[in-house]
Amino acid sequence: MCLAVPGKIIAVHDPLEFYRKGTVDFQGSRVEVSLAMVPEAEMGDWVLVHAGLAITRLEESEARETWKYLEEAGMILEHQEDEEHH
Amino acid sequence: MKNIIEAVTRACADLDEVRIMEVCGTHTVSLFRSGIRSVLPPGVRLVSGPGCPVCVTSQGYIDAVIEVSARPGVTLCTYGDMVRVPGRTGSLEAHRGRGARIEVCYSVLDALRRAEENPGEEVVFVAVGFETTAPATALAVLEADRKGLGNFTILNGHKRVMPALRALLAGSDLPLDGFLLPGHVSVIIGSGAYRDLVDRYHKACVVAGFEAEQLLEGILALVNQMARGTPALENVYGVAVSPEGNTQALDCLDRVFEPVDTVWRAMGTIPESGFALRAAFDRFDAEKRFGLVQGEDTHPPGCRCGEVIQGRAEPRDCTLFGEACTFENPVGPCMVSSEGTCAAWYRYGGVR
Amino acid sequence: MLRGTGTAVSGEMRNTMKTRADDHVMLVHGGGGEMTRRFLDAHVLPGLANEFLDPLLDSAVLPPVEGSLCMTTDAFVVQPLEFPGGDIGRLAVCGTINDLAVMGARPLALSLALVMEEGLPLAVLDRVMASIAGAAGEAGTPVVTGDTKVVERNRGDGLLITTAGLGVLDEGPRLAPGRIEAGDEILVTGPIAEHGLAVMVAREGLGITSRLESDAAPLAGLVEAMVSSGGEVKFLRDPTRGGVAGVVADLVEDTGLGVEIEEEALPVPAPVRHAAELLGLDPLTVANEGKIVVVAAKGAGERVLEACHAHPRGKGAVRIGRMVRAEPPLAELITSIGGRRIIQRPYGEELPRIC
């Protein structure tokens, strides 16, 4: 009963408040998400987001393993880096 | 993943038909959409459970939602899932056509922001969902409280999963061997919340996520437990689910809500199965603010949604399925909700 | 399209609509008199100028043409009016051009009817008109006639556009479902689900920003490249409302054959996929405005794909499935794990879900 989607925190606002919010990036789509339930999550961390609320922190490598469409993005980035080196 | 499918087939080779209840509506849909249903060996029977928040919402609640949407000055904010559910006088969608102001939100926090930016509007949020969704509502109420908002209320329909599963098993002659448990509810309540299902009811239990591989791993773990004859509580969604759950979210829920007996559509009243706003947050309760009375839970003649959500009937057992009741013209909530069992069968399984 | 308040102009736009009198469309602009003439000269006609439109007669006179005439029309009511990658103007031109193109017709002329709500900011109108001129130019098809009306505040959606298109079919076998046989290949000319998601994400109230862009584009040139590729093209349809799922459901209905689509073959870019997950949508059901679903004869797909790849609008073209004999005929998706599930026409408007 729950669509929750993994994304990466790229900004944190109101860092001192319980009701702190952040910007989570989903490969280009950005949502202002409440971080109230993940006090341990920091900039650069991955979180699982449901209806505008981050419900847990995720380990990036495990997240890429579980959600295959994230792996694709990883591969694209690697390819781009290769091109830049040539 | 072929290997997993083969392993499942091998594991249930010596078993009679195993019946697994996949509790969660999102699991119902994911199982169809991934095509897993079409590759499982016939010995594995998947039975849908009451985990579709729209499907288990009582008729009385839906009628109250529609009633308040017609009150002057009200802006009703809702998740998209609720828009097509039929009440006695039509759905929210139909009422929007008649002039009611209805906004679809991705998050309850959008509704809160709307209330802040439009002090002249009475914003009412349709708060449905299980423990995955309830913490966001709790947070919105806390924020509304902190900001002293006078124009934000919720029509509370949140429910709790475990009491419903207990009720199912307690009352039941339903043969079930195990449960595929909802991954995201479990993020909040923790895998440990389901202990009773193993200890008291001796069912195999596995918490799984929603990607195809997760579903297959979950089903394999269940079938292996059954083959060994040792029901246990397992979690294949460790990336997101811990035994104790999200304690911050649970605390937040506890601050704002208290468990209360609640009517589940076609299942009657289940003890402690819903959330009610604590007295301190009364002024955010739309029922009190607007004097709403939730009417009787009625269901259309011939509609077997109640049995379907309890796993006692399959959609094709209902004479209305695919005939009088289709996704385009739904009779009951199991067909309306995009993750209702009947809708999933109809859309992804074809009408047989 | 989804409406929040019943009038779909954004709150921000409504505030703008209350400002200075000379900044927005007024009822008098639609009155038919001198003010209308001046309004058209300043805001509507400039980008569209061509020999057929310029005389501004009651009807445009077009030169004689050989071949069967094709005619199509569409009304456009999208909200928001402007979105990443396009606006209602671009949509209105491309949608009608493409309805001609997928018939195999060469577009000849467009008509343009605007219904504007009193208070629509002129700056918005100017941008939309520039888009229309741009898209018509890209398509090489002039707007030869048109009409403008203004309705009272709160009676419109800011701006509603109706376009009609005239095209000509050259001699040769028609593109039609009747030609389709089991074994025929199904292709799509590029990545799917971009338009619908870009528009949905751009709607206020969802609180999501993204880099997604509408793919709206005129495709008559791409169709010509495919049809003259040497590979036999039997049928074309653009997957607008209802997405690829809608077209596939149409194919089953129109031919009595089954369809198999390979999930792994579907071209869904990662950011699009992720946005769809976020909103609980199936990319197969999301609208596209710059793509075509192609049914090519068995064995002809390779040639057609080569022609697509050589054309700027067909770079990402791929084979996605095939027509099959099946009883009963169904549209099925072969999933990434090798299972199967039905592809159904979506109910109507897809809404963001949390469950």
User: Do both B205 and B244 map to the same domain?
Assistant: yes
Mean pLDDT value across residues B85-109: 83
User: Do both B245 and B343 map to the same domain?
Assistant: no
CATH class of the C177-342 domain in this structure: alpha beta
Is the pLDDT reported for residue B125 higher than 70? yes
**Hey, which chains touch A, using 3+ CB pairs under 8 Å?**
B, C
Contacts of B103 in chain C (CB under 8 A): 4-5, 205
Mean pLDDT value across residues C198-212: 82
Is the pLDDT reported for residue A79 higher than 70? no
Is the pLDDT reported for residue C346 higher than 60? yes
User: Do both B135 and B212 map to the same domain?
Assistant: yes
Q: What percent of chain A has pLDDT over 70?
A: 77
The Cα-based distances of C15 to B11, C11, C19 in angstroms read 65, 6, 7
Q: What percent of chain B has pLDDT over 90?
A: 62
Residue with token string 């043409």: C65
- The alpha carbons of chain A give a radius of gyration, in whole angstroms, of 14
Sort strands C293-296 and C233-237 into parallel, antiparallel or unpaired: antiparallel
Among B34, B102, B129, beta carbon nearest to C339:
B34
DSSP C169: E
Among B26, B80, B328, beta carbon nearest to C352:
B80
Contacts of A47 in chain C (CB under 8 A): none
**What's residue B252's pLDDT?**
96
Catalogue the E-assigned strands of chain B.
Answer: 18-24, 44-51, 74-78, 101-104, 122-129, 152-158, 178-182, 204-208, 233-235, 257-264, 268-277
- B4-26 per-position pLDDT tens digit: 989 998 888 888 899 999 999 89
Q: What percent of chain C has pLDDT over 70?
A: 92
Chain A residue with minimal CA distance to C202? A29
The Cα-based distances of C68 to C166, C235, C238, C272 in angstroms read 11, 18, 21, 40
Chain C residue with minimal CA distance to A73? C270
Among C270, C271, C355, beta carbon nearest to A2:
C355
Among C6, C344, C355, beta carbon nearest to B347:
C344
- B203-252 per-position pLDDT tens digit: 999 999 999 999 999 999 999 999 999 999 999 999 999 999 999 999 99
More confident residue, B52 or B350: B52
Is the pLDDT reported for residue A37 higher than 60? yes
Average pLDDT over chain B, rounded to an integer = 91
What's domain C11-169's architecture? 2-Layer Sandwich (3.30)
CATH code: domain of residue A26: 2.30.30.140
User: Do both B205 and B322 map to the same domain?
Assistant: no
User: Do both B292 and B323 map to the same domain?
Assistant: no
CATH code: domain of residue B207: 3.40.50.11740
Partner B contacted by A52 (CB < 8 A): yes
The verdict on a CB contact (< 8 Å) between A27 and C270 is: yes
Mean pLDDT value across residues B181-196: 97
Mean pLDDT value across residues C48-68: 92
Domains in chain B, number: 2
User: Do both B65 and B169 map to the same domain?
Assistant: yes
The verdict on a CB contact (< 8 Å) between C274 and A32 is: no
User: Do both B59 and B162 map to the same domain?
Assistant: yes
More confident residue, C188 or C157: C188
User: Do both B293 and B325 map to the same domain?
Assistant: no
Is the pLDDT reported for residue C2 higher than 50? no
The ipTM assigned to this model is 0.91
Mean pLDDT value across residues C1-28: 58
Average pLDDT over chain C, rounded to an integer = 90
Mean pLDDT value across residues C4-25: 57
Distance CA B108, CA B79 (A): 8
Give the pair of three-digit tokens for residue C208.
């999501």
Mean pLDDT value across residues C228-232: 95
Q: Which domain holds residue A62?
A: 5-85
User: Do both B102 and B171 map to the same domain?
Assistant: yes
DSSP B285: B
**What's residue B338's pLDDT?**
75
Is the pLDDT reported for residue A74 higher than 70? no
More confident residue, B248 or B311: B248
User: Do both B30 and B131 map to the same domain?
Assistant: yes
**What's residue B172's pLDDT?**
67
Most C CBs within 10 Å, among A2, A23, A24, A26, to test the C interface: A26
Domains in chain A, number: 1
Distance CA A66, CA C50 (A): 57
Mean pLDDT value across residues C139-164: 92
**What's residue C9's pLDDT?**
54
**What's residue A86's pLDDT?**
39
> Hey, how many other C-beta atoms are within 10 angstroms of the C-beta on C83?
23
Q: Render the burial of B301-318: b for 16+ CB within 10 Å, e for the rest.
A: eebbbbbbbbbebbbeeb
Most C CBs within 10 Å, among A2, A27, A30, A75, to test the C interface: A27
Contacts of C270 in chain A (CB under 8 A): 27, 69, 72-73, 76
Contacts of B102 in chain C (CB under 8 A): 4
pLDDT band at C208 (very low <50, low <70, confident <90, very high): confident
Q: Which domain holds residue B20?
A: 1-304
In angstroms, the separation between the Cα of residue B321 and the nearest Cα of chain A is: 22
- Residues in contact with B125: Cβ distance below 8 Å, sequence separation at least 6, in sequence order: B77, B78, B105, B108, B111, B112, B137, B140, B152, B153, B154, B155, B286
